[in-house]
Chains A and B, each alone.
Chain A
């Protein structure tokens, strides 16, 4: 696998799944995985299989719900959608990530050796 792809931090995948479901409505596992890949422009190193552990974790916390249904080409699939509690969690987590990435950006923007002056 190429080194240029991003390794996912613990917890980031869960957030991505939540955001995807919030944006797209009901999706099955494959749909979610493809959507994340597409949105990230294939920049994320994603083993599609790991999505399923993430889906279980989110279900356990009551942030998404699941239902068996039939896919567009007539296959039996489990469809996931975000719950009210999930949306609340998403907004909290998204705010957190935004703040974190801002701070990280500012810290990393410090020019080298600037402390010596």
Chain B
């Protein structure tokens, strides 16, 4: 073993000192000969004979030198270098081929590397600077049918009772209005458990992280760690920042630390600007103090597994804890479990939304790569015929076929290595592309960086090798199978029936066309989904309604002040020219926030055993239904008189009425929510609430005044454009309170569009890559047809001389091209029928076998292949029979 190693080292050293060693052996050998000659002279031979005999005994100095070199060298490395030099020379000699091949591969490898880097940066290692992300898991609660957040007491029980975890931590995204100097700005932050920074292995560059006791006590620890970016942007990198204060949601917080540069928190999609301990929950979350209430589920949390623990083992442990909690606290935990998710499936941040899109993209880019490989393979095949002479000569003078194979593979590797370099550059350049495809919210672009780490590089290199094998192996094997005698005969391939090796090229084209077909079908399905999802009615007006928000709680208003401010605000807005109506609501549908949920009970409705009926609800102001355009089927809408002193009322949606009152008009009946009885005064049409994809769900509304929250959204019915209204609103707001910041003003249509951005991203990327694939496949088809025509000049000339009309020749070539295309389309259709189902979530109200998508893909491919075949076919008709027959 060690002697092997010693040998390798010696050989490596020799490899780099080759010239010196050559001189040494020469000196040694000449001494050897001189000594031999001398001895022979002493034996009395003539000088000539002495020399002759010495040489004979030595046995050929050249051969000895070669043996010596071989014994000391690394033969593999040397032939590799030699092949590399030859490969580069070959590429320089045919730059057109080289550029085309490298371009095809660059697109293929680059697209793959880009998707790898997105997956790495968004799904697998989404949190820069955080240690051991491969062992992080996300946690959610579960009910029989749904997933929920976790409650703080359940979380602390997990922390105490799980032995298979290093740590658990909480990170709940929220926003506030930060008013520093004369600039008020909406910023995103996290409510975290006190162990957050220690658990992540992230250490503040200034000050300290949270102390364990800062988790405890209602609003007892108004401290905050701010992000590096906030420190730079808003505090000018003030080195004396620790101990200074900033007002958030009306509470003065002491800045105790600055997070390091490049740490963005733990929420895929957003860069956090600040962190506060869980004890400050009350200040930032609507709905009061929840740290001691096991029934209030609001936190998003993660755990880190101990090394070597599998997700299944950890899930078993967590489920055991959940079962115990169910038994100990039936009132809050009956029928509820806790579920672990691998980081890349985290359901509560953008990882969950992007996952299906990125999975689809992975398949798409692999297809593009395969198509590119087929193209380059075809180019190499054509070239290997052109190089047939060179290769034959090399075989004839004794080159081993294995060596020939090696050299051709090296040539392929050079191509793909150059392409991989280009591809990685493309991927780097594309790493922020996803952000461009996704909407900006409140002037903040999403934070979705791709990550180019060694894993991405290694995977791209692997792709590069795999691609080389794919595109270079077939041509190389074909070329190394050269039949010496056969090359004396000229190669003849017919147009009508491809003979000999042309079947390889043809099948490559068939594969290309079929892959391309699948991509086109996918793009077609996604386009139709996008159109359907964007044109489908969400159950409210999308045009002529603008939404925005003013977060009063974020600016420290108490309920009393907020109520009078709301009344004043609505009056001001309604008075603006061009505004038809305006109303407040806690949430607008399809927005980013979540609705509250309440356990409900209905007179005369018997829930199935073990089920606690619950429904989501919204708190809305007077005139909300008229403003947003949700029709009332019966009863009335809320009025200003439905206030704190009046009887508690509610409006339910049609789905809820149908489920709990069996289709009877529930107006006048009563509904119990969170233990309080509400009088039902109206029934509203069911609309979409969270997503366009959801099924009709029970939902009810209560007056904002009777269930108050200071953080409310504003809906405005107007014909004005958003930016014009925004300017007017900002002016009004400034006169009312200069410390308030207006959220972004957008139309409801825009809000709906944003909620369907996954479909848009998927279509944009698939469409772009599908178009690219189409171009590549067309190049492939064109190449094969051109080559076939140029190789069968004689046959075409003969046919012409025998009286074939040029239109017949034209048809001959076109029909051969179309035959290839049709073969590809059939294969592609069969594959597509199996694959389109994988689009799953991205498809909206469309069958994966939609005939329109298949038909349109068929049409596009046929037209494109006709175009690709046209030039070769036209060339076939220009063959001059005389020239053709004289040819060769």
A contact set with B: CB distance below 8 Å: 28-30, 33-34, 47-50, 52-54, 56-57, 59-62, 71, 73, 75-78
Assuming the contacts A56-B71, A59-B10, A60-B10, asked whether A49 and B29 have C-beta atoms less than 8 A apart, the reply is: yes
Which residues from B are CB-within-8-Å of A30? 31-32, 35-36
**Least Cβ–Cβ distance between B218 and chain A, in angstroms:** 76
Considering only residues 744-793 of chain B, those with a C-beta below 8 Å from chain A are: none
The one of B25, B31, B34, B72 in contact with A60, judged by C-beta atoms closer than 8 angstroms, is B72
Contact assessment for A76 and B6 in the assembled complex, using a CB-CB cutoff below 8 Å: no
Residues B28 and A78 in contact, CB atoms below 8 Å apart: yes
The residues of B that contact A78 with a CB separation of less than 8 Å are 24, 28
Point out the residue from B3, B27, B28, B64 that lies within 8 Å of A62, measured CB to CB: B3
The answer for the CA separation of A75 and B61 in the assembled complex, in Å, is 19
Query: Given the interface contacts A49-B67, A53-B71, does A77 sit within 8 Å of B31 by beta carbon?
Result: yes
CA distance A112 to B842 in the complex (A): 85
8 shortest interchain CB distances as A-B pairs = A47-B59, A49-B64, A53-B67, A53-B71, A60-B10, A30-B35, A56-B71, A30-B32
**Which residues does chain A contribute within 8 Å of B61, judged by CB atoms?**
49
29 inter-chain pairs at a CB distance below 8 angstroms, sorted by A residue, are A28-B32, A29-B32, A30-B31, A33-B32, A34-B39, A47-B64, A49-B29, A49-B58, A49-B59, A49-B61, A50-B64, A52-B29, A52-B64, A53-B64, A53-B67, A53-B70, A56-B71, A57-B71, A60-B6, A60-B10, A60-B71, A61-B3, A61-B7, A71-B31, A75-B35, A76-B27, A76-B31, A77-B31, A78-B28
Q: Would you give the shortest CB distance from A76 to chain B, in whole angstroms?
A: 6
B414 to chain A, nearest CB (A): 32
How many Å from the CB of B764 to the closest CB on chain A?
60
Distance A57 CA – B63 CA, assembled complex (angstroms): 16
Kindly name the residue among A30, A33, A47, A71 whose own CB sees the greatest number of chain B CB atoms within 10 A.
A30
Q: Which of A56, A73, A76 contacts B68 (CB 8 A)?
A: A56
Q: Which of A49, A59, A73 has the most CB of B within 10 A?
A: A49
Minimum C-beta distance from A27 to chain B (A): 12
Given known A56-B72, A57-B71, A76-B31, contact A48–B3 (CB-CB < 8 A): no
Distance of A44 from chain B, by nearest CB (Å) = 12
Chain B residues in 8 Å Cβ range of A29: 28-29, 31-32
Bound-state Cα–Cα, A103 to B71, Å:
31
- With A60-B6, A61-B6 as known contacts, state yes or no: A50 contacts B28, CB within 8 Å: no
Given contacts A49-B61, A60-B6, A61-B7, contact A28 B31 (CB under 8 A): yes
**CA gap between A101 and B459 in the complex, in Å:** 55
Interface residues of B in 42-77 (CB under 8 A from A): 57-61, 63-64, 67-68, 70-72
| Cβ of B11 under 8 Å from chain A | yes
> B31, A52: Cβ atoms under 8 Å?
no
Tell which of A49, A52, A76 touches B60, judged by Cβ atoms closer than 8 Å: A49
B31 and A47 within 8 A (CB): no
A56 to B72, CA, bound (A): 6
Q: Is the CB of B59 within 8 A of A50?
A: yes
Identify the closest chain A residue to B28 (Cβ): A78
CB distance from A20 to the nearest CB of B (A): 15
Residues on the A chain within 8 Å of B64, using CB: 47, 49-50, 52-53
Nearest B residue to A37, CB-CB: B57
Bound: A59/B27 CA distance, A: 18
Q: Are A60 and B60 in contact (CB under 8 A)?
A: no
Residue interface mask B450-469, A partner, CB < 8 A = 1 = 00000000000000000000
Query: Contacts A56-B72, A60-B72, A77-B28; is A48 near B58 (CB within 8 Å)?
Result: yes
Chain B interface category by residue count: 20 to 34
Asked whether B317 is an interface residue with its Cβ less than 8 Å from the other chain, the reply is: no
Q: How many angstroms from the CA of A84 to the CA of B649 in the assembled complex? A: 101
Please give the residue numbers on chain B whose beta carbons come within 8 Å of chain A beta carbons, in ascending order. 3, 6-7, 10-11, 24-25, 27-29, 31-32, 34-36, 38-39, 57-61, 63-64, 67-68, 70-72
Check if B35 sits within 8 Å of A50, measured CB to CB. Answer: no
Q: CB-CB < 8 A to A28: which residues of B?
A: 28, 31-32, 35
- Between A33, A50, A52, A71, the greatest number of chain B beta carbons within 10 A of the residue's beta carbon is seen for A52
Closest Cβ neighbor of A61 among chain B residues: B3
B31 interface neighbour in A33, A34, A59, A75, Cβ under 8 Å: A75
Which residues of A sit under 8 angstroms from B6, Cβ to Cβ? 60-62
State in angstroms the CA–CA spacing of A75 and B35 once bound together.
9
> Which residues of B lie under 8 Å from residue A47 when comparing CB positions?
57-60, 64
Contacts of B7 in A (CB 8 A): 60-61
B35 to chain A: which residues have CB within 8 Å? 28, 30, 71, 73, 75, 77
Residue of A at shortest CB range from B60? Answer: A49
CB–CB A50/B31 < 8 A: no
CB B606 to nearest CB in A, in angstroms, measures 90
Pick from B29, B32, B67 the residue with the most CB of A within 10 Å: B32
- Complex CA gap A50/B27 in Å reads 16
Nearest CB of chain B from residue A68's CB, rounded to whole Å: 9
Considering the complex, give the chain B residue whose CB is closest to the CB of A52: B68
Residue from B7, B27, B68 whose CB has the most chain A CB atoms within 10 Å: B68
Complex alpha-carbon distance, A34 and B10, angstroms: 28
Q: Which residues of the partner chain B approach A52 to less than 8 Å between Cβ atoms?
A: 25, 28-29, 64, 67-68
Q: How far is the CA of A78 from the CA of B31 in the complex (A)?
A: 9
Bound CA span A49–B71, Å: 13
Q: Which residue of chain B lies nearest to A58 when distances are taken between CB atoms in the complex?
A: B71
A28, A48, A54, A61: residue with the most chain B Cβ atoms closer than 10 Å: A48
Instruction: List chain B residues, Cβ under 8 A from A60.
Output: 6-7, 10-11, 71-72
Taking the closest CB of chain B, its distance from the CB of A53, in whole angstroms, is 4
The answer for the CA separation of A56 and B71 in the assembled complex, in Å, is 7
Residues of A within 8 A of B39 (CB): 34
- Which residues of B are found within 8 Å of A76, using beta-carbon distances? 27, 31
Q: A53 vs B59: C-alpha distance in the bound complex, in angstroms?
A: 13
B565 to chain A, nearest CB (A): 88
Q: How far is the CB of A33 from chain B (nearest CB, A)?
A: 8
Give Cα A52 to B29, complex, Å.
9
- Which of A53, A61, A62, A75: most chain B Cβ within 10 A? A53
Cβ contacts under 8 Å, B34 to chain A: 75
Q: Provide the residues of chain A in CB contact with B68, threshold 8 Å.
A: 52-53, 56
**Chain A contacts of B72 at CB under 8 A?**
56, 60
Which residues of B are found within 8 Å of A34, using beta-carbon distances?
Answer: 39
A34 to B39, CA, bound (A): 11
Cα(A61)–Cα(B7), bound, Å: 6
Q: Which residue on chain B has the smallest CB distance to residue A89? A: B3
Complex CA–CA separation, A28 to B29 (angstroms): 11
Which residues of the other chain, A, contact B57 by a CB distance below 8 angstroms? 47-48
Q: How many angstroms between the C-alpha atoms of A61 and B72 in the bound complex?
A: 11
Tell me the smallest distance from the CB of A64 to a CB of chain B, in Å: 12
Q: How far is the CA of A30 from the CA of B29 in the complex (A)?
A: 9
Residue numbers in B under 8 Å from A54 (CB-CB): 71
Smallest CB separation, A87 vs chain B (Å):
15
Assess A48 versus B31: contact at CB under 8 Å? Given A53-B64, A60-B7, A62-B3.
no
A53 contacts across to B, CB distance below 8 A: 64, 67-68, 70-71
Whole-angstrom distance between the alpha carbons of A50 and B31 in the complex? 15
Nearest Cβ on chain A to B174's Cβ, whole angstroms: 69
Q: How distant is the Cα of A76 from the Cα of B24 in the complex, in angstroms?
A: 11
**In the assembly, what is the distance between CA of A53 and CA of B68, in Å?**
4
Residues of B within 8 A of A48 (CB): 32, 36, 57-59
Give the complex CA separation of A76 and B38 in angstroms. 15
Taking CB atoms, residues of chain A closer than 8 Å to B25 are 52
Given contacts A48-B57, A50-B64, 6 further A-B contacts (CB under 8 A): A53-B67, A60-B6, A60-B7, A60-B10, A61-B7, A62-B3
User: How far is A52 from B3 in the complex, measured between Cα atoms in Å?
Assistant: 20
Q: Could you tell me the distance in whole angstroms from the C-beta of A14 to the nearest C-beta in chain B? A: 11
Q: Which residues of B contact A50 (CB under 8 A)?
A: 59, 64, 67
Distance in angstroms from B855 CB to nearest chain A CB is 70
Query: Smallest CB-CB separation from B67: which chain A residue?
Result: A53
- Select from chain A the residue with minimum beta-carbon distance to B8: A60
Q: How far is the CB of B839 from chain A (nearest CB, A)?
A: 60
Measured in the bound complex, the distance between the Cα atoms of B2 and A61 in whole Å is 9
